[in-house]
Amino acid sequence: MSVDTATVKKVASLARIALDEDQAARLVPELNNILGWIEQLGEVDTSAVQPMTAVIPNHLRLRDDVVTDGGIREAVLANAPQGEHGFFTVPKVIE
């Protein structure tokens, strides 16, 4: 698998990362290198190996259904570039 400039640009735009032509062009071989390594890993037969989800044996912990958080509107909004009347505000997005 390899990527071309168009794919790099598309992935960048989906991730909202601004790239100019030079940067996009430079990323093509870099990403292809990485994809090459991944493909090399794919040569190992792992059909009988369970995917490892943690380096130590561990289980997903669940929480009780109790309200323990919230009521911190000031803190939540503190870093917002713009807010009004307790809301975040953003450039109008409507379809």
Partner 1 sequence: MTEYRIQGATGEWEVVIGLEVHAQVTSNAKLFSGAATAFGAEPNTQVSLVDAAMPGMLPVPNAECIRQAVRTGMAIDAQINRWSRFDRKNYFYADLPQGYQISQLYHPLVGEGHLDVSPDEKNPEATKRIGIERIHVEQDAGKLMHDQHPTRSYVDLNRSGVALMEIVSKPDMRSPAEAGAYLTKLRSILRYVGSCDGNMDQGSMRADVNVSVRKLGDEFGTRTETKNVNSIRFVMQAIEHEANRQIDVIEGGGTIVQETRLFNPDTGTTRSMRSKEDAHDYRYFPDPDLLPLELDEAFLEECRASLPELPDAKRHRYEAAGITAYQAGVLTAEVETARWFDALLEAGATPATAANWVSSELFGALNRTGRTIADSPVSPAQAAELLALVADGTLSGSLAKQVFEVMLETGQGAGAIVEERGLKQTSDTGAIEAVIAEVLAKNPNQLGQYRGGKEALFGFFVGQTMKAMGGKANPAVVNELLKKALAG
Residues interacting with partner 1, by CB under 8 A?
10, 13-16, 53-54, 58-73, 75-77, 82, 84-95
Q: Which is nearer to partner 1, 28 or 83 (CB)?
A: 83
Burial of residue 68, with CB atoms counted within 10 A of its CB: 0-12 exposed, 13-18 middle, 19 or more buried: exposed
Q: Which is nearer to partner 1, 22 or 75 (CB)?
A: 75
Minimum distance from residue 64 beta carbon to partner 1 (Å) = 6
Minimum distance from residue 2 beta carbon to partner 1 (Å) = 18
The upper half-sphere exposure of residue 86, i.e. CA atoms within 13 Å in the direction of its Cβ, equals 3
Q: Which is nearer to partner 1, 22 or 58 (CB)?
A: 58
Residue 8: both structure tokens together? 């790099």
Which secondary structure element, helix H or strand E, spans residue 22, and what is its range? helix 21-41
First to last CA, the chain: 37
Minimum distance from residue 60 beta carbon to partner 1 (Å) = 4
